[in-house]
Amino acid sequence: QKEVEQDPGPLSVPEGAIVSLNCTYSNSAFQYFMWYRQYSRKGPELLMYTYSSGNKEDGRFTAQVDKSSKYISLFIRDSQPSDSATYLCAMSPAPGGGADGLTFGKGTHLIIQP
């Protein structure tokens, strides 16, 4: 079993829909949770960062962490074609990754249809 599981998709939704992206993990030491967006052949771009359990909202994006279920989510409201990209969840036991670095999921390929 991988430490972080993420459905690779592709996930295709119509423009304007609410998108839900999820990851599950097995390492209970993870305390820091991130979502990155990666366009084709580019480096990952940080979208959201959350410490421990709870919700965080930034514009059209909401990140949720449920440590009791070892489950994290990213919601995108009013999705736009420009949101089409691969979304990577990442997590670590220490801030900045620490000596173990960030552990990533495989990424979910999201397609927003105009």
| CB nearer another protein, residue 21 or residue 90 | 90
Q: CA-to-CA distance for 40 and 110, rounded, in angstroms?
A: 12
Shortest reach from residue 9's CB to another protein, in Å = 11
Q: Give, as one character, the DSSP assignment of residue 69.
A: T
- Minimum distance from CB of 18 to another protein (Å)? 24
Q: How far apart are CA 81 and CA 4, in angstroms?
A: 27
State the residue for tokens 């304007």.
Answer: 16
* Least distance in angstroms from the C-beta of 13 to another protein: 21
Q: Which is nearer to another protein, 16 or 52 (CB)?
A: 52
The residue ranges that bind another protein (CB under 8 A) are 4, 6, 8, 32, 34, 36, 41-46, 49, 51, 88, 90, 94-107
The two three-digit tokens of residue 111, written as one number: 């397609």
Nearest to 84 by CA among 5, 15, 7: 15
Query: Which of residues 68 and 99 has its CB atom nearest to another protein in the complex?
Result: 99
Cβ-based nearer residue to another protein, 15 or 45: 45
